[in-house]
Amino acid sequence: MDIGIRPLWTPVPRVAGPAYTVRCPPGDNLMLHAAIYRAEPGSVVVVESGDVDHALAGGNVCAVAQRRGIAAFVVDGVIRDLAEVREAGFPVFARGVIPIPGTKKAIGSLGGEVRCGGALVHPGDVVVADEEGVVVVPGARRKEVLDAARAKLAKEAGESLDAWEEQHRARIDQLLTQHGFDG
């Protein structure tokens, strides 16, 4: 997702889970409030709203979501009651904070395709979020990506910084030569 979707408090734990997708019309948060009672424990609730003028959730909604086992909120919008959310330790990745609540008058959707932070997210896609940002892995590629990540971690764990530096320098020198740099 784009860099505008970021953790609202730090240090935030790394979270990962299947996406439970929500679409809220601008200015309204009814569907997110409904989602906290429908998302499975361990889910990452991903919200498309396209609105930064009205909060999608506040401290109580985040506390209930946390109590129901929801791993995190990832919202293309804003929330309120940041101090309460931070104190509870509930991970929220969003565009920011505003004290103005949204209304509960419009029906959006639950469990459909959404766009959040520029990324297309489908129900069941794997969402991984931490202090560096949010990544979405298509559900169909879950095993492939997990295997590749584990292999990379294993390689890095067995490699010293000296060995990494030697390989890195050789690769950079090779790339510079390939691109015609002779300095």
Is 58 annotated in a binding site? The answer is yes
Is 53 annotated in a binding site? The answer is no
Looking at residue 58, the DSSP 8-state letter turns out to be: -
51, burial (CB in 10 Å: exposed 0-12, middle 13-18, buried 19+): buried
Is 60 annotated in a binding site? The answer is yes
Looking at residue 6, the DSSP 8-state letter turns out to be: E
> What is the rounded end-to-end Cα distance, in angstroms, of the chain?
37
* Tally of CB atoms within 10 A around 113: 13
The alpha-helical segments, DSSP class H, found in the chain are: 30-35, 59-67, 82-88, 142-157, 161-178
Q: Tokens standing for 43? A: 């889910």
Cα separation, 49 vs 56, whole angstroms: 8
Is 80 annotated in a binding site? The answer is yes
Extract the annotated binding site for Mg(2+): 81
Extract the annotated binding site: 58-61, 80-81
Extract the annotated binding site for substrate: 58-61, 80
